Amino acid sequence: MRRFCRPGAFDAGINMFTAFGYFKKPQDNQRVLLNLHRSLKPGGSVLLELMGKEILARGFREREWHEENSTLFLEERKLSQGWSWIESRWILIKGTKRKEFVISHRLYSARELSELLIACGFHNVRVFGDLGGSDYDQNAKRLVIAAQKA
């Protein structure tokens, strides 16, 4: 992602399911958006869909668990860097088998991500609360941002 660039090759770029922000250095995440901007044709669009910082803060729980199809899912979350980084530890238990995963990524507010897109050359930045286009407000389910290349 930090190196992939095909200047003017694509009409659109789509990044969903919080697949953005996994690099520890903010400059690396910015590099991804710069490469995406360069890879779009003039007038091309980008859509990002992720868990916004505001949504996470609204219902934050340090620990959660639920059971599904005889599998117990445990999740422990730790915030750091002034609410800009989250580390999630997932433990899956089914019978006597146990698997553990750690997933960490940068958290963005709607404003932070909008400003980053603008800094990378995008314009007409629009923020939504879901893929259906609802407002990004206290009822938002996800942070969805659409923008265009001039």
Domain boundaries for CATH 2.20.25 within the chain: 59-105
DSSP code, position 2: -
| CATH architecture, domain defined by 59-105 | Single Sheet (2.20)
The per-residue pLDDT for range 27-49, each reduced to its tens digit, is 999 999 999 999 999 999 999 99
End-to-end CA distance of the chain: 22
Among candidates 39, 9, 50, 26, which has minimal Cα distance to 116? 26
**What is the model's pTM?**
0.92
What is residue 76's predicted lDDT score, i.e. its pLDDT?
A: 98
Q: Does domain 10-55+107-149 have CATH number 2.102.10.10?
A: no
What is residue 1's predicted lDDT score, i.e. its pLDDT?
A: 87
Q: Are strands 71-80 and 85-94 parallel, antiparallel or unpaired?
A: antiparallel
